[in-house]
Amino acid sequence: MGASDYNEKVLDHFANPRNVGEILNADGIGEVGNPVCGDIMKIYLKVENNIIEDVKFKTFGCGAAIATSSMVTELVKGKTLEAALDVTNAAVAEALGGLPAVKMHCSNLAADAMHEAIKDYMEHHKK
- Distance in angstroms (rounded) separating the CA atoms of residues 127 and 118: 15
37 is catalytic: yes
pLDDT at 125: 85
The number of beta carbons lying within 10 Å of the beta carbon of residue 3 is: 10
Cβ atoms 59, 28 nearer than 8 A: no
Higher per-residue pLDDT: 38 or 94: 94
* Domains in the chain: boundaries: 8-125
The number of beta carbons lying within 10 Å of the beta carbon of residue 60 is: 12
% of the chain at pLDDT higher than 90? 62
62 is catalytic: no
For residue range 112-121, what is the model confidence (pLDDT) as tens digits?
Answer: 999 999 999 9
CATH fold group of domain 8-125: Sufe protein. Chain: A (3.90.1010)
- Distance in angstroms (rounded) separating the CA atoms of residues 37 and 105: 10
Question: Residue 127 pLDDT more than 60?
Answer: no
Catalytic residue among 11, 37, 40, 62: 37
For residue range 66-114, what is the model confidence (pLDDT) as tens digits?
Answer: 999 999 999 999 999 999 999 998 999 899 998 887 777 666 789 999 9
Comparing C-alpha atoms, which of 83, 103, 116, 91 is closest to residue 11?
103
Catalytic residue among 85, 91, 104, 106: 106
